[in-house]
A and B are shown apart, each in its own frame.
Chain A
């Protein structure tokens, strides 16, 4: 049984450009089969028991299987003039969708997983930074983060995660950056390189579901953002892909 707080959120289910080009995407959302397709001029998402709520933002089609609790969150960078949006393409990852999101929040892994790109040995220390759950926007924010990054200039980026099941997700690495000179293929290659370095680690993390309470994992100062994220998930009841019993 999936809780209403999970069902009433927005989830990415397709690249808008591909659906607009006439491709139909048969996929899963929260374990249920859905079909994303173009009907006349409108993108529709059909579930087993009827159509889902749909919107298009940031190059993606988003669907809500319940009753939307709110509009889709804003990404102000996407609307900034001069930013170049890059379609990096979908990558499937055998991990909890929550772990895939948490990966984008983690700083400490840079020198070990993205060696000589987003970090480098021996510069592995995570300096003190600040984390807050901003009540007005209902978001987790990390600020005053400083880290030694040999080649991060191109990577003003994150990822958009579609929860297929509790242990499987489709991820679109996503970029909006100020760069008018680097060829598109190079930007895509850079971002795919970064994310695929993460993928092999994500697929090996245990327990498979994301534990929301400390147990076998002992968080440290460097994990501040992850801890805030997990607390926020717990408070919001966003437990699809989470392990509720301390491991």
Chain B
């Protein structure tokens, strides 16, 4: 059994829940009282994860505390196609985006925690850094679109997309709009349109893409 120590509002926890859902992998989710309880900082929790962070993925003796590493674990065990094309170039690119997702978390993610859960921080600097990241993504995704592609690496969705998606899709929670980034917005729609996509608070499913209810549905 794969156990995820989880917090419902965490973008990093959602990365793992989303990847598992897309792969059809069942997780045993253990809710941790991150806010307001700060349970992840407790002595008992640090016995499991000395870093005192969420999420934590536990499979037997294996304990991971970096969400991008969890994506690699899930993809290697249940859907290797999600690791990206098996070339040195693509492998490097995927790793680059996994590391980039930490920059998203440190900028857009922290702006969100500041605005939503009253975390301390220089909100203008965090939003500015978030815009820097979004500009880089916009440039890259626009190039991809010119080449007839929509994903961050290659021609199919990969762990790179899943790693970067949550912080970007939740950027408005931290007061950063995606209005200036049309390619990024289209990419978030592509992720939300994936088969078996799951939502989280602040990230809504594509209602308009689900079939219009019929008279028969209404009667049931």
Q: Which residues of chain B from 205 to 220 have a CB within 8 Å of any chain A CB?
A: 205, 207, 210, 213, 217-218
**Which one of A43-51, A136-144, A188-196 is at the B interface?**
A188-196
Kindly count the residue-residue contacts between A and B in the assembled complex, taking CB atoms under 8 Å apart: 78
- Is the Cβ of A199 less than 8 Å from the Cβ of B173? yes
Cα A188 to Cα B36 with chains together (Å) = 9
Q: Within 8 Å CB of B207, what residues of A? A: 112, 115, 121
**Which one of A84-92, A149-157, A219-227, A235-243 is at the B interface?**
A84-92
- Is the Cβ of B201 less than 8 Å from the Cβ of A199? yes
Q: Within 8 Å CB of B39, what residues of A? A: 185
Q: Does B25 contact A (CB under 8 A)?
A: no
Q: Within 8 Å CB of B205, what residues of A? A: 115
Question: A197 touches which one: B7, B31, B33, B201 (CB < 8 A)?
Answer: B201
Question: A92 touches which one: B32, B37, B118, B218 (CB < 8 A)?
Answer: B118
Q: Which residues of chain B from 30 to 55 have a CB within 8 Å of any chain A CB?
A: 30-33, 35-37, 39
Q: Within 8 Å CB of A88, what residues of B? A: 36
Q: Given contacts A89-B36, A185-B32, A185-B37, is CB(A193)–CB(B201) below 8 Å?
A: yes
Q: Does A200 contact B (CB under 8 A)?
A: yes
Return the CB mask of A192-210 against B: 1 if under 8 Å, else 0. Answer: 1111110110010000000
A18 to chain B, nearest CB (A): 8
Cα A190 to Cα B205 with chains together (Å) = 18
Question: A196 touches which one: B6, B9, B115 (CB < 8 A)?
Answer: B9
- Is the Cβ of B202 less than 8 Å from the Cβ of A183? no
Q: Within 8 Å CB of A92, what residues of B? A: 115-118
**Given A90-B36, A122-B218, 13 more contacts at CB 8 Å?**
A91-B116, A94-B115, A94-B175, A115-B205, A122-B213, A185-B33, A188-B35, A190-B8, A192-B8, A192-B35, A193-B9, A196-B201, A203-B172
